Amino acid sequence: MRSNLVYSLIFLSVFTIRGQKINTDDSLKVSFKKNSVYLELGGTGGVYSICYDRLFDIKEKKKNSFSIGLSYLQGVIYEKDLRIFALPFSRNTIYFRYLEIGLGITPTLIAEIKPAYQHGSVVGSYTELEPLLFLSPKLGFRYQKNDGGFFFRAALTPMFSLISNSFLYRSVYPWAGLSFGKTF
């Protein structure tokens, strides 16, 4: 009777061990907080942007993310009354937990408010629109804990103008950004 119990335990343990799924890829089974909201000063949004970032395809040595932001700036620049709207998108890969490499594209719309004249007097205003498109690679340091909390990034984000009709805009802007936010 005792030997039957020993043989049964050995038999069950062999099938239990064989039935265990072995993780053949390097995907992690650790629970990650995947969402971040942050303020980016500089960076792909220009002067500033408010952004959302989502991690996906999380592996042991790398994670991927997609981010989208919104930026609005109003003021007098070069003696022009401007409204600037930007919508930065980027696809990023985080290697070895802290090194972030990415590529972003930022459609931008500049609205210049100009006075409308009639018989030499200002009678109102009209808006002249100029679309711009920037490509911006990203190389930086990213701090984001797996279990959420404080989010920080410092990155070089040079901006390359792909569409520009104005003589005021250069084709390449050396640029950088700092991001502060929360991961949840």
114-133 pLDDT, tens digit each:
888 878 887 878 888 989 99
Q: Supply the pLDDT for residue 126.
A: 83
* 1-5, 16-20, 32-36, 103-107: the lowest-pLDDT one: 16-20
pLDDT tens-digit map of 100-109: 999 999 999 9
Per the CB < 8 A criterion, the answer to whether 166 and 176 are in contact is: no
Structural domains in the chain plus CATH codes = 31-183 (2.40.160.70)
Residue-wise pLDDT tens digits, 147-163: 999 999 999 999 999 88
Maximum pairwise Cα distance, the chain? 113
Q: How many CB atoms lie within 10 A of CB 89?
A: 15
Higher pLDDT, 177 or 15: 177
